[in-house]
Structure 1
């Protein structure tokens, strides 16, 4: 009986998925320009934090962020931005967002932090520091709840992390509910507290819209 043949060829390496995040820094006089492209999520938070801290060290006046190419941004990235801004203010420097995408604008608007990253005069640097510390603490406190709510949506409807975030944002806007309060309601519902009917309907509608947009042919095939 012939011996079974075994291949001596090495297995082909698994394909490496394309990188979804790009962060580049360059000096601009007394400031550092940081250009961010791609997805800013929990996995990218540490890299973003390290690069921003290094950029701040080499800039005597602060950092200007170009986030126009950011396609996804969650609360983990917001926490990094708030933390680096607090550090900059403590040293008499600033962190501004010169260009933002729809994803970053939506997150900053929903959390009430958009104005913190606009250009300020020197007189405005110190008097807002107490308010900013409160906002930073609030963001750090609400992040676990928001992450839990995303997990609830992912487990309940089989959503990806990004789609779960989109559902949270859509429902928050359509019910005129703060994002962290909506997240708390979703987490509480898992523990047995009833979710308001209006919120249930909006969640179902948001999930349905995502399913329709992902369905084959949803964008049309170009025929009349």
Structure 2
């Protein structure tokens, strides 16, 4: 079960999380929402001590981010361990939680200086919306694929996630593409032979 610690830092709150970010981590959301409300500008997450993170955990982070945007605030991932980093990379959501660096802060226009062209702002916003949509659309398929592996091979949620990630990495296949193809096998589709081999190997090394 995930736990967290909150430390005020100026107009932001630094939240350090320990444990696993999975379906059970949603129990953190009420406290995170309260922390967000108490902050002046948003939350900075430190996730170095998170040893496991699946799509349910990412969903929780995206929900928190959406809540922050509704309040005109931001949620950033200041630091994270391999589990969170891998998931953010595989789902293309890293930039949604990117923190503004010192150099970016330094070149921010002053109040009396012209800001970036409106077109650039619109382009950045469109890119961010595209990333968010992609993450929201692919998560259900990934969770369904994980459920198929759990039911087919008697894997735990963590084991099924490990199989998906390992097969994705070993076949150089995007995680959501692999999940889509795996779900397609329920309706008569087949996986390419190299993918089948890597999937079988991952299951063999993970199954109890």
Give the alignment's TM-score, normalised by structure 1.
0.77
| Cα distance in 2, alignment partners of residues 133 and 38 from structure 1 | 30
Report the structure, 1 or 2, having the larger helix content: 2
Contact 2:25 2:60 in 1 (8 A): no
2:189 paired residue among 171, 186, 193:
193
1:71 paired residue among 43, 47, 51:
51
Counterpart of 1:41? 22
Counterpart of 1:137? 133
Question: Offset at 1:78?
Answer: 1.4
Give the direction of change, closer, same or farther, for the CA distance of 1:74–1:190 in structure 2 (3 Å limit): same
Give the direction of change, closer, same or farther, for the CA distance of 1:153–1:187 in structure 2 (3 Å limit): same
Question: Offset at 1:153?
Answer: 0.7
Task: Give matches, 1:93-104, under 5 Å.
Answer: 93-104=73-84
2:10 paired residue among 29, 37, 57:
29
Question: Offset at 1:89?
Answer: 4.0
Question: Offset at 1:183?
Answer: 0.6
| Cα distance in 2, alignment partners of residues 190 and 99 from structure 1 | 38
Structure 1 unaligned residues grouped into runs of 5+: 1-19, 215-224
| Cα distance in 1, alignment partners of residues 127 and 58 from structure 2 | 16
Contact 2:96 2:131 in 1 (8 A): no
Task: Give matches, 1:177-192, under 5 Å.
Answer: 177-192=173-188
| Cα distance in 1, alignment partners of residues 176 and 29 from structure 2 | 23
Whose Rg is larger? Answer: 1
Contact 1:110 1:178 in 2 (8 A): yes
- Residue-pair matches, total: 191
Of 111-120 and 64-73, deviating more is 111-120
Contact 1:36 1:69 in 2 (8 A): yes
Structure 2 unaligned residues grouped into runs of 5+: 109-115
Once superposed, what is the RMSD of the aligned Cα atoms? Answer: 2.1
